[in-house]
A and B are shown apart, each in its own frame.
Chain A
């Protein structure tokens, strides 16, 4: 699984500029050289991990109906380098749905409900002290919700596409597992959605939020 995901990231890397600390020999006059051995190099490399949190999306249809879905979210977060690709893949379990203020527990009217959320983009990474780092960046976003109705109830589905951004804050407590440094922290993401090809673009506009706790590996 991780190999496949890293393969996806490798494809993204092909489209992303390579990390390019300035070579002193090529630096324009007046540009301070950055040594490859600078402390900032601790920001290099992969970060990947799992995150558990909340996913909420609210959107308007062209008929001015408003919809909201609250879901439990299990995410795989990955990124590379001080400036490189980011990927957030999330599996969703919709828990609550509402339309025009009328709220239902999804378990009461839908069966085998599920969803997925993807954010694919570019991030920049910063360090604070020896143990803290942050990353943030924009990307392309999509949320898929599939809620087949229980017997006697109508199905619901949506595919919300748009743009968004995410940030991850990490703390390295100095713990290593199987030789890999552990990082824990929090994450948050927001997206503006404006196109739904699944629903004949009945989507007028939508906002999606995601936040939670993170644990993963990477760095020194």
Chain B
């Protein structure tokens, strides 16, 4: 899970009315684009991971894109932004017509009840790039915020090892990218707007499955459950399982639950053997090294990550990643 704890979302006596800034009038919770197939590219710049999903409909025509920037100064992740819209490519030109702007801000300095959490706004702008495709790389030239050399994610997944603790840490980083892209799209995530989900709601995955968000429990012991069901926001990574967050009125608490991840790597586009693993957020009751939530953010504990072959290691959520995402995936 990202460092944005869910707990703060349920930490208010104004449960029935909500708080935080005004919400958008008549806003649909989920208007995500979905794609029949997609090419997913990944790049890294400093502590930022970038994911570009170029989606196509069942007939193979471009049907939409998602472009995400995820801040990873700590292993849990911290904030992020996703653009969605339509795209077109001709020759060496790639135009991304942005229609939706999702943002999960870093609000650690904000008062708990004043936080926005994840938001979505409608926009109308175009990101224009010059592209060079070479093998499994895509080089974008143009908007400096997004320019760079991207690698086909499914091919990059083939770079992941599974023998050492460092390998385990790398697999966590990649799986957590999918967790982060889902959280960016959950309206109100990380803010008091999570009170919305006292009526559970399911967001669809851009490529497959869905993620259900629900809030139960009383005013003083709220419990937020996020359930992934064959959820995939980009090629090659699928999530399934529960994240459960308990928090008090101060945004302090712990997490429980296990999310399983499945990687589907390719070699030059040819499917390889799937690899799986699990991320344990905490045992029931929150004992041991369960992920801790402080002031609404992940503040301690450990992720326990176990790979398909039994290799297991812990990941410190608030420390910088032991191995950078670029090194893990062999990114340029």
Interface string of A92-106 (1 = CB under 8 A from B): 000001110010100
Count CB-based A-B contacts (< 8 Å): 70
Residues of chain A with a CB closer than 8 A to B187's CB: 154
A185 interface residue (CB < 8 Å to B)? no
Contact: B18 with A104, CB < 8 Å? no
Contact assessment for A154 and B20 in the assembled complex, using a CB-CB cutoff below 8 Å: no
Residue of A with least CB distance to B31: A152
Are B196 and A155 in contact, with the CB atoms below 8 A? yes
Whether the Cβ atoms of B21 and A200 lie closer than 8 Å is yes
Residues in A with CB closer than 8 Å to B22 are: 61, 65, 67, 156, 158, 199, 202
Chain B neighbourhood of A200, CB < 8 A: 19-21, 111, 113-114
Q: Is A109's beta carbon under 8 Å from chain B?
A: yes
Within 8 A of A (CB), among B1-23: 14, 16-23
B111 to A: closest C-beta gap in Å: 7
Number of residues on chain A facing chain B (CB within 8 A)? 27
B122 — nearest CB in chain A belongs to which residue?
Answer: A102
- A149 close to chain B: CB less than 8 A: yes
Whether the Cβ atoms of B25 and A102 lie closer than 8 Å is yes
Closest to B111 in A: A200
CB of B26 within 8 A of CB of A102, answer: yes
> In the complex, what residue of chain A is closest to B14 when comparing beta carbons?
A198
Q: What distance in Å separates the Cβ of B41 from its nearest Cβ neighbour in chain A? A: 31
B92 proximal to A (CB < 8 A): no
- Convert A56-86 into 0s and 1s, putting 1 for each residue whose CB lies closer than 8 angstroms to a CB of B: 0000011101010000000000000000000
Q: In the assembled complex, which residues on chain B have CB atoms less than 8 Å from the CB atom of A151?
A: 199, 201
Q: B27 in the interface, Cβ–Cβ < 8 Å?
A: yes
Known: A198-B14, A198-B17. A99 touches B26 (CB 8 A): yes
In the bound complex, CA of A219 to CA of B119 (Å): 56
Q: Is A157 an interface residue (CB 8 A)?
A: yes
Which residues of B are interface residues toward A (Cβ below 8 A)?
Answer: 14, 16-30, 111, 113-114, 187-188, 193, 195-196, 199, 201
* 7 A–B pairs (Cβ distance < 8 Å), ordered by A: A97-B26, A151-B199, A154-B188, A155-B196, A156-B22, A157-B17, A202-B21
